[in-house]
Amino acid sequence: MRGEMGSAPGHHDAGKKKPPIDASKIIELADEDFEIEENLEGPEVRLQPDTTEEEELSGADIIESHEIPKPVGEVTSKSINSPLHPGHNEDAILGDHYRIAHELANPPVLKTSDVARDLAAVRRAGETELQLSSRLNERQVHAVLDGMEGKKKNGSGYIASRLSSASIAEVIAEMPIDANAEMTRQSFENALMAAHQTVSEYKVGKGEEFADMGTTADLIRTIETENAVVVGHIGDGRVYHFDSATGRLAQKTEDDGAAKYLRDRKQIDQEDFDRIMNASGVGDFDDNENTTPAASEKNKKLRYLFGKRNQLASTIGNPSPDGKDPKPTTLVFTVKKGDLVFVVSDGIGDTLTNGTIEKILRDGGGIEELIAAVQKENQGGGRAKPDDVSATMIEIGGKGARQEAQARALEQRQRDEQALQARKNAALAPKPTESSGGVRGLWRKLFGG
């Protein structure tokens, strides 16, 4: 398994404080010769520095003249390689300079026909994104991408996610720091389509080798002045909103998979779609002694779609089934202090049901607990699908805001329960009677009659 991007093998945790990285040293290190020795047929491949590109940004290019907004919340990120391809992680967390620095110094294991060329493209993308990472942080934009390589298993999904991440970074870096929700939404749509064009152009002339190459991408940005979160989505990564006060989870994006494609074309209804997306496993569609022939036929269809839920109809780098460019989804929703907003790759979203995720968060868990649940599920659960696992989570209002929101909500529920009990007690209390109380009873006691 590849080492951790910044610490222990296999993952990166951006929530921990780490010393700053000198970008110039990383670029200098990456420009040195390096060798590729693993899993390659033919002679050893040595990648030479690319000295023809002169697109580096100067320090002055990344200096903003106006005040940088304060972070809206506490941000934590983590990514773990799949055991199916430990030589590279197809997921990418946008602007993660520790991940990029690690990859520049430790190039991935690829099995493409032109490894040197592909690694050079990945390196240039990494350098570009590293140079722009401060701009992304200033604009408080976060994203998770998940590359796809199809049946070739050659690392093309890794290439797609890295090229796309750099392309998205270039568009977002030009977005005004104080962009409102609508401006951000438009920038997200432009960034996703720019990434699609980049990957599509890279595939030209590559034939079957890169036929399945593509990536998903989910972007989020919190805007404090509007109490809003802006989302850009394509593929089957997911954006979630957890309301800490109510303990309720809301999935804000829908997977652009076969089930959604058929539902949108009214070939299955919303109920069938919900059954597919929320099933705990294929066994949820088994027949029983009371199943009618019609229901059995429907179960067979839904069972098939559940198994094919990872076949995507909309991704970066591939046309939709109707031959047109994919259309990103963008949306805006409101949040409040203490809420959690997070984006995950399908290694989490497709492995854990929403009910499981909600319970973990309600019990105070976060990314670590979600990943632990995924790893447990992959030991033999009904939705198990070993994959790279990545997530970025924002605690609105900063560290501890969720606990404060939950404490306030608990106090309010206790006050409400006490008030309700007081009303019940009052309703059950003995009522004054004519003979023993009230004005009429007092009159009789004094004057008779």
Average pLDDT value for residue range 301-310: 85
Average pLDDT value for residue range 32-50: 34
Same domain, 443 and 338: no
Same domain, 353 and 423: no
Helix, strand and coil percent figures for the chain, each rounded to 5: 45, 20, 40
Same domain, 47 and 101: yes
Task: Answer yes or no: is 275 within a domain.
Answer: no
Distances (CA, A) of 428 to 20, 298, 421, 423: 67, 53, 11, 9
Q: What is the largest CA-CA distance in the chain?
A: 119
Same domain, 161 and 240: yes
Same domain, 140 and 247: yes
Which of 61-65, 90-94, 315-319, 345-349 has the lowest average pLDDT?
A: 61-65
Return the closest-CA partner of residue 196 out of 242, 234, 228, 139.
234
Domain with 436, as residue range(s), is 407-447
The residue ranges of DSSP E strands in 132-253, in sequence order, are 141-148, 214-223, 228-234, 238-243, 248-251
Task: Answer yes or no: is 443 within a domain.
Answer: yes
Average pLDDT value for residue range 166-185: 96
Cross-sheet strand order for the sheet of 248-251: 11-13, 73-80, 389-396, 340-344, 238-243, 248-251
Residue 117 banded pLDDT, cuts 50, 70, 90: very high
Q: Is the pLDDT of residue 318 over 90?
A: yes
Cross-sheet strand order for the sheet of 214-223: 91-93, 141-148, 214-223, 228-234, 329-334
SS (H, E, C) 393-417: EEEECCCCHHHHHHHHHHHHHHHHH
- Give per-residue pLDDT as tens, 383-431: 666 789 999 999 999 888 888 887 787 777 778 878 888 787 877 877 6
Task: Answer yes or no: is 213 within a domain.
Answer: yes
Contact 236, 144 (CB under 8 A): no
Residue 432 banded pLDDT, cuts 50, 70, 90: low
Q: For position 43, what pLDDT does the model report?
A: 34
How much of the chain exceeds pLDDT 70, in percent? Answer: 79
CA terminus-to-terminus distance, the chain: 98
Which element (helix H / strand E) includes 304?
A: helix 293-307
Residue 439 banded pLDDT, cuts 50, 70, 90: low
Contact 89, 2 (CB under 8 A): yes
Q: Which amino acid is at 242?
A: F
Backbone angles phi, psi at 250, to 5 degrees: -125, 125
Q: Is the pLDDT of residue 150 over 80?
A: no
Task: Answer yes or no: is 50 within a domain.
Answer: yes
Same domain, 177 and 217: yes
Contact 152, 126 (CB under 8 A): no
CA gap 170, 1 in Å, rounded: 31
Backbone angles phi, psi at 260, to 5 degrees: -65, -40
Give the pTM.
0.77
Same domain, 78 and 141: yes
Same domain, 414 and 390: no
310/436: higher pLDDT: 310
Q: For position 13, what pLDDT does the model report?
A: 43
Same domain, 435 and 358: no
In this structure, the chain runs to a length of 449
Q: For position 14, what pLDDT does the model report?
A: 40
Average pLDDT value for residue range 359-380: 90
Secondary structure (DSSP) of 41-71: -SS-EEEPP--S---PPPGGGG--SSPPPPP
Backbone angles phi, psi at 391, to 5 degrees: -160, 150
Task: Answer yes or no: is 211 within a domain.
Answer: yes
Structure tokens at 183: 């401006």
Same domain, 443 and 319: no
Same domain, 159 and 72: yes
Same domain, 216 and 145: yes
Alpha helices in 209-268 (DSSP H): 258-264
The average confidence (pLDDT) of the chain is 81
Partner residues linked to 219 by β-bridges: 143, 232
Task: Answer yes or no: is 389 within a domain.
Answer: yes
Task: Answer yes or no: is 285 within a domain.
Answer: no
Task: Answer yes or no: is 300 within a domain.
Answer: no
352: domain CATH number is 3.60.40.10
Q: How many domains does the chain have?
A: 2
Q: What does the radius of gyration of the chain's CA atoms come to, in whole angstroms? A: 27
With tokens 């972007």, the residue in question is: 219
With tokens 């497709």, the residue in question is: 350
Return the closest-CA partner of residue 350 out of 162, 159, 82.
82
SS (H, E, C) 85-126: CCCCCCEEECCCHHHHHHHHHCCCCCCCCCHHHHHHHHHHHH
